[in-house]
């Protein structure tokens, strides 16, 4: 099934993110202690949370590839959403810890100026994450994976975090050592914001929330289907990266059962062709005329 093959391809992007974060977090933490840069250490901790998030996404993707069984009739696609929510809690905990440490740093006196090489480390990290972002964004667009696109955006935010850390380090070199601590504080805020965004999106999906504009777009496609005289109801929900739609349409009451079934098939084909919808449940009712 193509949906399962796409998920398997998405795992490749998760593995690349994990590999990049493992190398960069170790590199940044080592250099952060070596060059005495709190911003670089905070950036390294940020990458460690991303390792956890990427592993959670990978596990979720692997579970979501399991086929439907007796007590999971719709499959296991929501496993990646649950994993993302768990990762958001871990990221929030680390983000709060970074903020606490940065707050303590603001009240410390006689702070040492971080080595200028710290800025070079941050720049190298930013460049690496930009390439990881571009790869995952391209793959996410090919397989139409919302989860992998979210991971790609996280890659981009990490590149921006490294840029911010580099700016703080350079500021310290110019005689403003407190900028390094401020940069660490900003990194902590970015970690917490990313955690909140993932949590909000996950809970919205798990509670069957769906974008209203996308729902209107689906409704428009259904309305254009030949033979559809009215739409009584359209509902959509997310299962991982896949959309499932339930629709009730009205047709000419004089149509035969076979003709009504053909309209249902046409709606399903249009949903797959125009919106990449994995599953569509169509209920056909006769159009009632008012006398």
What's the rounded Cα separation, in Å, for the pair 113 and 172? Answer: 6
- Residues 46, 169: one domain? yes
User: Are 16 and 134 spatial neighbours (Cβ–Cβ below 8 Å)?
Assistant: no
| Structural domain boundaries enclosing 193 | 2-206
Count up the domains in the chain and report the number: 2
CATH number of the domain within which 278 lies: 3.30.70.1350
Paired residues of 236 in beta bridges: 245
What's the rounded Cα separation, in Å, for the pair 190 and 195? Answer: 9
- Residues 31, 104: one domain? yes
What's the rounded Cα separation, in Å, for the pair 59 and 143? Answer: 18
- Residues 161, 115: one domain? yes
DSSP state of 144: T
CATH number of the domain within which 81 lies: 1.20.1510.10
- Residues 243, 137: one domain? no
DSSP state of 69: B
- Residues 247, 180: one domain? no
Q: What are phi and psi for residue 46, nearest 5 degrees?
A: -60, -45
- Residues 169, 184: one domain? yes
Give the DSSP H or E segment for 279: strand 279-286
pLDDT of residue 114: 67
In-domain check, residue 114: yes
What's the rounded Cα separation, in Å, for the pair 71 and 133? Answer: 37
In-domain check, residue 238: yes
pLDDT of residue 130: 92
What's the rounded Cα separation, in Å, for the pair 207 and 188? Answer: 29
In-domain check, residue 291: no
Q: Where are the alpha helices (DSSP H) in the chain?
A: 2-34, 38-64, 79-106, 117-143, 146-173, 178-206, 212-223, 257-275
Query: What's the CA angle centered on 91, arms 85 and 95, to 5 degrees?
Result: 145
In-domain check, residue 195: yes
Per-residue pLDDT of the chain (291 residues; tens, 9 = 90+): 466 777 778 888 889 989 998 998 888 888 888 877 777 787 787 788 778 778 877 887 788 778 778 788 777 778 878 877 877 787 788 778 778 877 876 776 555 666 778 788 888 988 998 999 899 888 878 876 767 777 777 787 788 778 777 877 787 778 776 777 777 788 778 878 888 888 888 888 888 888 888 888 889 889 888 888 888 889 988 887 778 899 999 888 888 889 889 999 999 888 888 887 878 899 998 887 655
Task: Please tell me whether residue 216 adopts helix, strand or coil conformation.
Answer: helix
- Residues 128, 202: one domain? yes
Indicate the residue among 206, 230, 257 that finishes a domain. 206
- Residues 177, 226: one domain? no
Q: What are phi and psi for residue 254, nearest 5 degrees?
A: -85, -5
pLDDT of residue 176: 77
Indicate the residue among 148, 173, 206 that finishes a domain. 206
- Residues 62, 123: one domain? yes
User: Are 38 and 101 spatial neighbours (Cβ–Cβ below 8 Å)?
Assistant: yes
pLDDT of residue 134: 92
- Residues 161, 222: one domain? no
Tokens coding 119: 């800025």
Indicate the residue among 206, 241, 267 that finishes a domain. 206
What's the rounded Cα separation, in Å, for the pair 195 and 126? Answer: 20
pLDDT of residue 110: 55
Tokens coding 88: 């958001």
pLDDT of residue 128: 92
What's the rounded Cα separation, in Å, for the pair 270 and 218? Answer: 10
**pTM for the whole thing?**
0.74
Give the DSSP H or E segment for 174: none
pLDDT of residue 248: 92
User: Are 49 and 95 spatial neighbours (Cβ–Cβ below 8 Å)?
Assistant: yes
In-domain check, residue 116: yes
- Residues 171, 28: one domain? yes
- Residues 61, 8: one domain? yes
Please report, for residues 66, 77, 237, the alpha-carbon distance to residue 73 in angstroms, rounded to integers and kept in the order given. 11, 11, 15
pLDDT of residue 109: 58
């Amino acid at each position: 099934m193509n949906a399962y093959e796409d998920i398997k391809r998405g795992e490749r992007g998760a593995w690349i993110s994990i590999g990049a974060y493992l190398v960069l977090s170790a590199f940044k933490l080592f250099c952060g202690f070596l060059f005495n840069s709190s911003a670089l250490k905070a950036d390294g901790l940020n990458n460690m949370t991303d390792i956890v998030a990427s592993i959670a996404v990978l596990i979720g993707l692997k579970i979501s590839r399991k086929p439907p069984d007796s007590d999971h009739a719709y499959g296991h696609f929501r496993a990646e959403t649950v994993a993302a929510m768990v990762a958001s809690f871990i990221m929030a905990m680390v983000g709060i810890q970074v903020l606490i440490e940065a707050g303590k740093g603001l009240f410390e006196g006689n702070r040492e100026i971080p080595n200028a090489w710290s800025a070079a480390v941050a720049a190298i990290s930013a460049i690496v994450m930009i390439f990881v972002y571009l790869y995952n964004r391209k793959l996410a667009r090919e397989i139409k994976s919302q989860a992998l696109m979210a991971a790609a955006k996280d890659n981009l935010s990490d590149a921006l975090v490294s840029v911010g850390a580099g700016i703080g380090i350079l500021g310290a070199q110019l005689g403003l050592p407190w900028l390094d601590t401020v940069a660490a504080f900003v990194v902590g805020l970015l970690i917490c914001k990313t955690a909140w965004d993932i949590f909000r999106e996950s809970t919205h999906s798990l509670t069957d929330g769906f974008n209203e504009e996308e729902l209107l777009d689906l409704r428009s496609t259904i309305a254009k289907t030949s033979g559809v005289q009215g739409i009584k109801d359209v509902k959509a929900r997310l299962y991982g990266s896949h959309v499932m739609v339930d629709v009730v349409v009205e047709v000419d009451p004089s149509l035969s059962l076979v003709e009504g079934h053909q309209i249902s098939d046409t709606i399903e084909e249009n949903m797959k062709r125009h919106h990449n919808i994995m599953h569509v449940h169509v209920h056909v009712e006769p159009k009632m005329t008012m006398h």
